[in-house]
Amino acid sequence: MKHNVDVVRIRENSIQLNGWVIGKTPQSQPSFKVEDQDRRLIAFQYVSTRRDDVSQIYYGQVYDRDFGFDIQFPYERGKDYYLVIQCDNRKTRIKYNETLIKKRSSVAHKRMQKIKDLMNMETVRVALDFWKENGLRALFVKSVHKIQGLDNDYDYGEWHALTKPGKEELARQRTEQWDDGPKFSIVIPLYQTPKRYLQKMLDSIVAQTYENWELCLADGSPDGQDVFGTVKKYMDADPRIRYEKLGKNEGISGNTNAAMAMASGDFIVLADHDDAMTEDALYECAKAIKAHPECQVIYSDEDKMDMDGGALFDPHFKPDFNPDLLTSVNYICHQFVVKKELVDKVGGLRKEFDGAQDYDFIFRCTEAAQGVWHIPKVLYHWRCHQDSTASNPKSKLYAFEAGARAIMEHYRRVGIEAKKVEKGVDYGIYHTTFKIMGNPKVSIIIPNKDHHQDLDLCMRAILTRGTYKNVEFVVVENNSVKKETFEYYEAVQKEFPQIRVVTWEKGFNFSAINNFGVEYATGEYLLFLNNDTELIAENFIEEMLGFCQRDDVGAVGARLLYQDDTIQHAGVVVGFGGIAGHTFIGLHKAENSYFHRAMCAQDYSAVTAACMMSKKTVFRQVGGFSEDLAVAFNDIDYCMKVRSLGKLVVYAPYALLYHYESKSRGLEDTPEKVARFNREVARFAKKWPDILRDGDPYYNPNLTLRKSNFALRDLKKEGIGKPYELDGAIRALMNE
């Protein structure tokens, strides 16, 4: 017998236990008893729950059995209680009292429990597969990150409990007066809906703190399998609930459209029949509409809940509207709210995209919307079970094929020329290859001081292995002193006519050096590249150019790896480390990042100029690099200027290179260099105070600014939604 109690909750005068038990075979039947300290039997409530994860780990496949349990029993403070589990002639007694429960809630105990949870055959199997595919070094890096993750101060369930609105706030919301507040029509398609899940969703809607709503239920179930009997008691108690039996199944699109046709509200709210909304979901949407009346589309963060609804996990804290991320993955998903007049304009869900009908619908709505607003709060719980795409993407492979078609249709409507959309790092993650319009010249600007061997490796790889051929190199010689460097310049220009060396005769200033190099560039596109880089993806220029040629894009960055195949750059978040920093630093290229963000093309506030492409026209329009930022943050500042034009900065993950990092310039290791660095931090902060105050729109305020791995924000040190505080010395420099 193996068993585990995953969750222990004290609720007023009762204890609730969630866990699982297995025996020697899947057919083994456990039994349960609850005893007090005198071994007297205590009456308890028992509900069996699905635990397909346990079945998969210990039996190697999923059985149609309930291996989980939810047990609740009354208790008195100061007394001891025992859960007695028996299976296959083995018995165990687990003691519970208030002191033990508090101890088991401690950080140290949870860390040990997490370590224990890792010690199973599934972990061994996954580790062996990862080793075979990626090597021992990659397994070591991943293991280190797994162990470091055990030290997180919170698991999500605790974090959510500490951050969700309390009873007083919910009561205040219920009494708030609204002048002409919007009416929400919640539309839910039904088909052979499990009644217990539907009841949970209906209960969550009835409990809303904002009252101006209606619920439109369209049931395509066959006779005898409809849920009218379940819904009727809700309808009798609340006239805002409406139900229509369709008589036949029109599919998820047709059933949803039928529910939409019943709607009379100002905004449509899409929901699934087996999920749940938070009590403040509609209130937060109404508040957003009041503050931003121009917005016609609203979406929120979401999380997942287990089959019995007792545990929340896997929160998705999303960025503000990110059109390129949307073409990589349907990150918007739930909760999705759209103005009804916009729905009337773009049309409802389309049957030919069933499986990804919401993805196609979201594209059409966001394309036509006057404004899209993101609420950075979890307002929706997505029920996760084995047959849902929330848990097992392969179970609905057709959905992802429909998603690829939805993306191609989106490109066609907005006039973007794409060659193909294919599976990315996982099902539901997409990689687009764009058509290159014409054969534009790309001018590659590379500053160099002495490191001619690094420079040769960088340029020779592009010229001999790179697949894009219409390139020129402008090497900006920057105060080299070695004779071999100048001999190399002379030889390489004779070998490759595409290479030109120009000389910068002043002191080091990264911005000025690159601006100087651009004066000699004849290409339509500029690729700023460090001399200590080496291509991995032979088509990295095409990957970047595919984005950069779009009118709405002003700059494009690449994914850069250290020599050990860990991430050096995968986009920049303004606010990391106080000013700005790279995402996912140190993560191995084979590790999964937060919702696969490291492998998704997406918009960021900035990318690094160690490898950054921009149109020459855009470069001229923003005045090039700011020369008052000689060393630090000049590339971030450049991207901010690009964004101020209303253009996007895109991260292209399949443009992959090594970056051997700062061999040329050295570290900020003298008092003079540190003082200069601090002055440039202050200049950047003074130029762009809004984003430092309000937060990076492409990051989420619920995530930490102290790490680059998108972990939960540390409530003790950071609070919620507060910007990272600048060092006192930096603030003093800003005031000079």
Q: Is the model more confident about 63 or about 645?
A: 645
pTM of the model: 0.81
Which has the higher per-residue pLDDT, 385 or 440?
440
Buried b (16+ CB within 10 A) or exposed e, 269-306: bbbbbbbbbbbbbbbbbbbbbeeeeebbbbbbbbbbbb
pLDDT digits (tens, 9 = 90+) for 260-276: 999 999 999 999 988 99
- Give the tokens for residue 702: 């619920």
What digits encode the pLDDT tens for the residues 142-167? Answer: 666 555 554 455 678 888 888 999 99
Query: How far are the Cα atoms of 58, 441, 445, 496, 539 from residue 466, in angstroms, in the given order?
Result: 48, 14, 16, 14, 6
pLDDT of residue 667: 46
pLDDT at 108: 45
* Residue 28 clears pLDDT 80, i.e. is over it: yes
End-to-end CA distance of the chain: 70
Closest by CA to 173, choosing from 271, 282, 266, 277, is 282
Task: Write down the pLDDT at residue 11.
Answer: 60
Residue 193 above 70 pLDDT? yes
Task: Supply 443's token pair.
Answer: 């001018």
- Tokens 């950054």 label which residue? 612
Mean pLDDT of 706-724: 79
Task: Compute, in degrees rounded to 10, the torsion defined by CA atoms 221, 225, 227, 230.
Answer: 180
* pLDDT tens digits, 508-518: 899 999 999 99
Element (H, E) at 502: strand 499-504
pLDDT level of residue 109 (50, 70, 90 thresholds) = very low
Q: Are 220 and 249 in contact (CB under 8 A)?
A: yes
Q: Could you tell me which residues are beta bridge partners of residue 650?
A: 556, 603
pLDDT tens figures, 725-736: 665 555 565 566
pLDDT reported for residue 157: 82
Task: Calculate mean pLDDT across residues 628-656.
Answer: 95
Task: Give the range among 109-123, 210-224, 501-515 with minimum mean pLDDT.
Answer: 109-123
Whether residue 335 has a cis bond before it, omega within 30° of 0: yes
pLDDT over 50 at 666, yes or no: no
The region that residue 527 occupies, defined by phi over 0 for left and psi between -120 and 50 for alpha, beta otherwise, is beta
> Which pLDDT score is estimated for 65?
83
* Three-state secondary structure readout of 565-578: CEEEECCEEECHHH
Q: What is the pLDDT of residues 342-373, one digit of tens each?
A: 999 999 999 999 989 999 999 999 999 999 99
The size of the chain, in residues, is: 736
Residue 581 makes CB contacts below 8 A (sequence gap 6+) with 572, 573, 708
Of residues 248 and 543, the one with the higher pLDDT is 543
- Over residues 592-607, the pLDDT tens digits come to 889 999 999 999 999 9
User: What is the 3-state secondary structure of 465-498?
Assistant: CCCCCCEEEEEEEECCCCHHHHHHHHHHHHHCCC
| Cα dihedral 528, 532, 537, 538 sign | positive
Q: All domains of the chain, ordered by start, with CATH? A: 2-105 (2.60.40.10), 167-413 (3.90.550.10), 442-728 (3.90.550.10)
Sign of the Cα torsion 507, 512, 518, 519 reads: negative
Q: Average model confidence (pLDDT) for the chain?
A: 88
Place of tokens 């998705």: 316
- The total of other beta-carbon atoms located within 10 Å of residue 216's CB is 25
The tokens describing 674, both together, are 């540190």
**What pLDDT score does 239 carry?**
95
pLDDT digits (tens, 9 = 90+) for 416-475: 999 999 999 888 899 999 999 999 999 999 999 999 999 999 999 999 999 999 999 999
Q: Return the pLDDT at 663.
A: 38
Q: In the chain, what percentage of residues exceed pLDDT 70? A: 86
Helical segments of 415-481, H only: 452-464
pLDDT computed for residue 359 by the predictor: 97
Is the pLDDT confidence value at 58 over 50? yes
- Asked whether residue 236 carries a pLDDT value surpassing 60, the answer given is yes
Nearest alpha-carbon partner for 692 in 564, 567, 577: 577
Give residue-wise pLDDT tens across range 62-104. Answer: 787 888 888 989 888 778 899 999 999 999 999 888 676 655 5
Per-residue pLDDT at 491 exceeds 90: yes
pLDDT bracket for residue 197 (50, 70, 90): confident
Q: At 107, is the pLDDT very low, low, confident or very high (cuts 50, 70, 90)?
A: very low
Q: Which helix (H) or strand (E) holds 418?
A: strand 418-423
Distance CA 649, CA 606 (A): 6
Contact 382, 314 (CB under 8 A): no
Q: What is the pLDDT of residue 245?
A: 94
Three-state SS across 106-126? Answer: CHHHHHHHHHHHHCCHHHHHH
Amino acid 670: pLDDT? 60
- Measuring CA to CA, which residue among 195, 234, 197 is closest to residue 215? 234
Sequence-ordered alpha helix ranges (H) in 292-351? 323-326, 340-346
- Which of 97-111, 304-318, 514-528 reaches the highest mean pLDDT? 514-528
Secondary structure element (H or E) that encloses residue 85, with its range:
strand 81-87
Q: What Cα–Cα distance (Å) separates residue 680 from each residue in 179, 274, 514, 658?
A: 48, 53, 18, 27
Confidence check: pLDDT of 643 > 80: yes
Average pLDDT over residues 386-395: 48
pLDDT band at 121 (very low <50, low <70, confident <90, very high): low
- Residue 115 predicted with pLDDT over 70: no
**Cα separations in angstroms, 456 against 189, 326, 441, 442, 542:** 61, 38, 21, 18, 21
- Rounded-to-integer distance, Cα 458 and Cα 452, Å: 10
Please say if the pLDDT value at position 391 is more than 60: no
pLDDT above 70: residue 720: yes
Please state, in angstroms and rounded to a whole number, the distance separating the CA atoms of residues 252 and 230.
Answer: 20
pLDDT recorded at residue 398 = 81
